[in-house]
Structure 1
Amino acid sequence: MQRYFLPPEQFQPSMNTVTIEGDDAHHLQRVMRADLGDKVICSNGVDREVLVRIMELDKTRVTAEIVEELPMNAESAVQVWIAQSLPKGDKMELIIQKGTEIGAARFLPFLSERTIVQYDAKKEAKRSERWQKIAKEAAEQAHRNRVPLIESVYSWKQLLARAKEADVAWICYEKEDGQQLKPVIQEALAAGKLGQGKQVLIAVGPEGGFTEQEIKQAEEAGFRSVSLGARILRTETAAMVGLTCLFYETGEMGG
Structure 2
Amino acid sequence: MDKTIFFAPDILINPQLPHEEALHCVKVLRKKEGDEILITDGKGRFFEASIIQAHPKHCVVNIDKTINEISAWPFNLHIAFAPTKNLDRIEWFAEKATEIGINRFTPLLCRHSERKEIKLPRIEKILVSAMKQSQKASLPVLDEMIPFSKFVKQPFDGKKYIAHCQDGNKNLLKDIYAKGQDALILIGPEGDFSPQEVEEALLNGFEAVSLGTSRLRTETAALVGCHTIHVLNQ
TM-score (norm 1): 0.82
Deviations 1:118-149 (A, max 9, x none): 43xxxx5xx12222222122111112221111
The reply on whether 1:137 has 2:134 as its aligned counterpart is no
Q: Which runs of 5+ in 2 are unaligned?
A: none
Q: Which runs of 5+ in 1 are unaligned?
A: none
CA distance in 2, matches of 1:118, 1:153: 9
CA distance in 1, matches of 2:9, 2:196: 44
Q: 1:61 aligns with which of 32, 54, 58?
A: 58
Deviation at 1:98, TM superposition (A): 1.4
Aligned to 1:94: 92
Aligned to 1:107: 105
Aligned to 2:227: 244
CA RMSD of aligned residues (A): 2.1
Matches within 5 A, 1:160-239: 160-162=152-154, 164-175=155-166, 177-186=169-178, 189=179, 194=181, 199-239=182-222
Asked whether the equivalents of residues 75 and 146 of structure 1 are also in contact (C-alpha less than 8 Å), the reply is no
- Which residue type is aligned with residue 16 of structure 2? T
CA distance in 1, matches of 2:149, 2:220: 24
Larger helix share, 1 or 2: 1
Q: How many residues align?
A: 230
Aligned to 1:128: 120
CA distance in 1, matches of 2:27, 2:214: 45
- Which residue type is aligned with residue 180 of structure 1? L
